[in-house]
Amino acid sequence: MSALTDRLDACRAEGRAALVGYLPVGYPEVETSIAAMRVLVEAGCDIVEVGPPYSDPVLDGPVIQHAAARALEGGVTVDDAFVAVRAVAEAGAVPVVMSYANLMLQRGWTRFAADLKAAGGAGVITPDLTPDAAPEWVAAAREVGVDTIFLVAPSTTRERMQLTCDASTGFVYATPLMGVTGERTSVGDAAQRVVAGARDAGAERVCIGVGVSTGEQAAEIAGFADGVIVGTAFVRALGDEGDLERLRAKVAELAAGVRSAR
């Protein structure tokens, strides 16, 4: 058990899915980005994904790519991400980091895991890393009690689905397609199929990122997943202006959607 599993199970006990919100550190600048993460918690997010910006975010859509580029231009660092993690934990949500593997490798697997744990972080989502590609990361995370969260998609083979679900702790991150992220006008059947596939492979908790941008979509996903992951819609709401009230309204809308699917 971990802080992540405890929070997801608590939401399940309430008869609902968790709302998981993502924001990049340093957008539009560091201080506002951390304030924005506190807004996520205040407005209804149960878990917050802290995103250290990366120079080549190949799996992120244009909205998050723009935010990452602006953050890097402003001089954001990985250390700023750990400050954000601490702020999220103090605000009452469970913080995780969503990071490209090269950032972690440059810091060192062991140091990254230890620094995250010291800041109050519960786990790391690695969108470009598979469990068999970095056993050193899995070992370092296990050593300090940090959850390793890997991705599955409809294209994931049965063998690899089993491997990924076995190596994932906290939750399994399901995505309806392997490609760039971003808002979508409809959820589609693939989302439900990939969640079912992960459950068949033994995953006890599955959260899904599918480009949710409305309360209605959030309610639909909450009907079959343990957590609804939202990134682009929140980044867009925050915007270059750092509009915390617009962000708060969007989070409240999606939190209400998740909770309506009891």
Active-site residues: which are they? Answer: 49, 60
Q: Which residue has the tokens 């959850």?
A: 147
Burial 69-98 (b: 16+ CB within 10 A, else e): ebbbeeebebebbbebbbbbbebebbbbbb
Q: Which of 52, 125, 46 is nearest to 83 (CA)?
A: 52
Let me know the angle formed at the C-alpha of 9 by 134 and 142, rounded to the nearest 5 degrees: 25
CB 24 within 8 A of CB 51: yes
C-alpha–C-alpha distance, residues 186 and 58, integer Å: 23
Chain centroid to CA 225? 14
Rounded to whole angstroms, the maximal C-alpha distance in the chain is: 46
Chain centroid to CA 120? 16
Number of neighbours of residue 38 by Cβ within 10 angstroms: 18
C-alpha–C-alpha distance, residues 169 and 208, integer Å: 15
**Residue 20, beta-bridge partner list:** 47, 229
Q: Are strands 147-149 and 18-24 parallel, antiparallel or unpaired?
A: unpaired
